Amino acid sequence: MTRATNHDLRVNIRDMSLADIPAIMQIERLIFPDPWSVAAFKEQVTAEGWGGIVAECGGAIIGYGCYYIVESEAHLTNLGVVPKYRRKSVAKQLLGNILQFVTERNCEYVFLEVRPSNRGAVAFYEKHHFEVLYRRPNYYKQPVEDALVMGRYLGGTEKDQQL
């Protein structure tokens, strides 16, 4: 569904496993001020309806994305790319893979939270047709910040369905 362009870095995308968590934690601690715990990733990999994928380049994990599904709703819970591999469509490929997976499981909506100060991530999601729905006060800690709740409808016209 996500179409590769000549500018896309070629990555191998596969399911996240428990064995990937140490490598993912190194990236997570590098890129987020409030990183997830090992336990959070373990739950993400093992709990019913939850899942994760990783993007590999040269055999190393350079990005990952996590989600869960509740009935017709999908939630994107994490998305990160190693800084030196950014702006090469790695996140686009991860997001496209997740949107295809959840659409095939009959999800109609996908939601996520993002810090308003994270202009790059907000721009990324807007580029991929997510809209800001509302603001959730003081959602984030370390540092405290509101969350923007963004959502995207996955049904609709054929044009809308281009993931």
Q: What distances in angstroms separate CA 105 from CA 40, 94, 101, one per listed residue?
A: 23, 17, 7
For helices 21-31 and 38-46, angle between their N-to-C axes, nearest 10 degrees:
130
CB of 97 to ligand COA, least distance (A): 12
The contact mask relative to ligand COA for 69-98 (x = CB under 6 A, - = no) is ----------xxx----xxxxxxx------
Q: Among 105, 127, 135, 136, indicate the residue that binds ligand COA (CB under 6 A).
A: 127
Task: Taking the CA atoms of 127, 144, 78 and 60 in sequence, report the sign of the dihedral they define.
Answer: positive
Q: Among 43, 108, 118, 132, indicate the residue that binds ligand COA (CB under 6 A).
A: 118
In the chain, the N- to C-terminal Cα span, in Å, equals 5
# residues near ligand COA by CB under 6 A: 20
User: Quick check: 53 binds ligand COA (CB under 6 A)?
Assistant: no
User: Quick check: 132 binds ligand COA (CB under 6 A)?
Assistant: no
* Of 111, 99, 118, the residue nearest 150 (C-alpha): 111
Rounded distance, CA 54 to CA 66, Å?
Answer: 9
User: Quick check: 123 binds ligand COA (CB under 6 A)?
Assistant: yes
Residue 98, classified by CB atoms within 10 Å of its CB into exposed (0-12), middle (13-18) or buried (19+), is buried
CB of 76 to ligand COA, least distance (A): 8
User: Quick check: 4 binds ligand COA (CB under 6 A)?
Assistant: no
User: Quick check: 22 binds ligand COA (CB under 6 A)?
Assistant: no
> What residues make contact with ligand COA under the rule CB under 6 A?
31, 79-81, 86-92, 112, 114, 118-121, 123-124, 127
